[in-house]
Amino acid sequence: MRVLFLFATIFVAAVLAVGQETHPSMQGMQSLSISYETPEQLSLLKNYVDVPGFDFVKSTNDLVDVLVTADKIEEFKQLLEEHRMNYTVMIENVQQLVTEQYIEQEVERRLQVATQDYASGRLSFTYYPNYKEVNEYLTYLTQTYKNIASLITIGNSYEGRSMKVLKLSTGGGNKPAIFIDAGIHAREWIAPAAALYMVDLMLQSHRDLLTKVDWYVLPVLNPDGYEYTHSSSANRLWRKTRSNTGSNCRGVDGNRNYDMGWMVAGASNNPCSDTYAGPKAFSEVENQHMRDFILARKGQIKAYLTFHSYGQYILYPWGWTNKVPDNEPELRNLASQCAQAIARSRRTQYTYGTSANALYLAAGGSDDWALGKADIKLSFTYELPGGRSGFLLPASEIKPVGTETFEALKVTHQYVTSKYASH
Ligand code: 0X9
Ligand code: ZN
């Protein structure tokens, strides 16, 4: 009996130890938005990057957002005060908000499950769909818009989930195409949802966007990570893939894993870091499938858009260096037009610039690869809004965010049409 108890204790301790390493408890975890002014203040904050208990989810030239576990929060706040750094508590208790949202989400889902629409695979966009619901919706689109929508399975994820690209085309060859992906970062739920809502808008009421341009949409580039965040509230803040690279810690940051300046800056070689670049460039099978799909259509794809959250940025290459690409004026001009279009829609303010200059240096990103290696001249990362709660943006924002971002899509479509389509 005593031996059994001992085994049980060891087992529980082992589970807790592993659990702690990959999932810091969200109970009492707070989200702080901290402003800094001096280089000293910045370097003080930098000391905490990749320290257990601290998750720097956003950093800009004068602000950082960080999630801090309950056991570290008071001491950390004291330190900020000692160094005269202003901060705002954005989320008082992350666990509580996550739990509330899971319940809300489930209530919304159950309201839909009984309906005909749900049975057909249609999405209401009133909750964040899980991987299965995304796929059902894609199938629904191919059945409803038979002559326009089709699916291309590009391969399986590490855990064996199929990765589907939705193709929207009214037929006829030699059309320029726009490629969109979302969900490379698992916890950024607004990205796949908004991308799909924009597809919905296109098919329901903006068919004109389909006459001169083909569209490819990969709504969930990291299906394993995405499903993991949906599977339990404890996993809600997972960012990476779920591959096992031989360490205690799982997953690779898909957006550090492309072979454009791989590992030169803003990426980690520590498998436990949230910005782990992987054992080598393109170690992640999901990224390989995406790469192969795009390279097979090299020349046709004229614009690459990747959706992330959060922070309201339209970013373009480079992220791996502070240098700017040759066509920077073109990228800046298009980003500016897109930002203005979004602002006209709902007054949401976007900042635009190269990733390295407007946000931070980070190598191995998909946008840099799209321009540098796939030669897609128009390559952009959208950091969608996070409201007050960042990744935990309420699902009621899916339609408003999708609607305003659709304005940027229209501008991009217009630009691609006038530059590349035959008239
Ligand atoms: O760090 C990232 O991968 C992106 N921000 S996020 O908060 N969604 O993680 C920005 C990527 C910008 N592009 C490059 N650095 N290449
Ligand atoms: Zn992201």
For the entire predicted model, the pTM comes to: 0.94
Cis check: omega of the bond before 369, within 30 degrees of 0: no
* Cα 281 to middle of ligand 1, angstroms: 16
To test ligand 1's pocket by mutation, which of 381, 384, 391, 393 has the most ligand atoms within 8 angstroms of CB? 381
CA-CA distance, 302 to 148, in Å (whole number)? 20
Segment (H or E) for 55: strand 54-59
Number of H helices, E strands in the chain: 12, 12
pLDDT, residue 391, reads 97
**CB 355 less than 6 A from any atom of ligand 1:** yes
One-letter amino acid for residue 380 of the chain: F
**CB 243 less than 6 A from any atom of ligand 1:** no
Catalytic site includes residue 383: yes
**CB 368 less than 6 A from any atom of ligand 1:** yes
**CB 230 less than 6 A from any atom of ligand 1:** no
Please name which of 105, 116, 16, 33 lies closest in space to residue 67, comparing C-alpha atoms: 33
* Cα 61 to middle of ligand 1, angstroms: 15
Ligand located closest to 372 CA: 1
Q: What is the pLDDT along the chain (423 residues), one digit of tens a residue?
A: 343 333 333 333 333 333 334 578 999 999 999 999 999 999 999 999 989 999 999 988 889 999 999 999 999 999 999 999 999 999 999 999 999 999 999 999 999 999 999 999 999 999 999 999 999 999 999 999 999 999 999 999 999 999 999 999 999 888 999 999 999 999 999 999 999 999 999 999 999 999 999 999 999 999 999 999 999 999 999 999 999 989 999 999 999 999 999 999 999 999 999 999 999 999 999 999 999 999 999 999 999 999 999 999 999 999 999 999 999 999 999 999 999 999 999 999 999 999 999 999 999 999 999 999 999 999 999 999 999 999 999 999 999 999 999 999 999 999 999 999 987
pLDDT, residue 422, reads 87
pLDDT, residue 18, reads 37
* Cα 185 to middle of ligand 2, angstroms: 5
Helix axes 131-144, 190-205, angle to 10 degrees: 10
* Cα 362 to middle of ligand 1, angstroms: 7
Ligand located closest to 359 CA: 1
Q: Which one from 136, 227, 284, 383 is the annotated catalytic residue?
A: 383
pLDDT, residue 362, reads 97
Query: Quick one: which atom of ligand 1 is closest to the CA of 309?
Result: 8
pLDDT, residue 60, reads 84
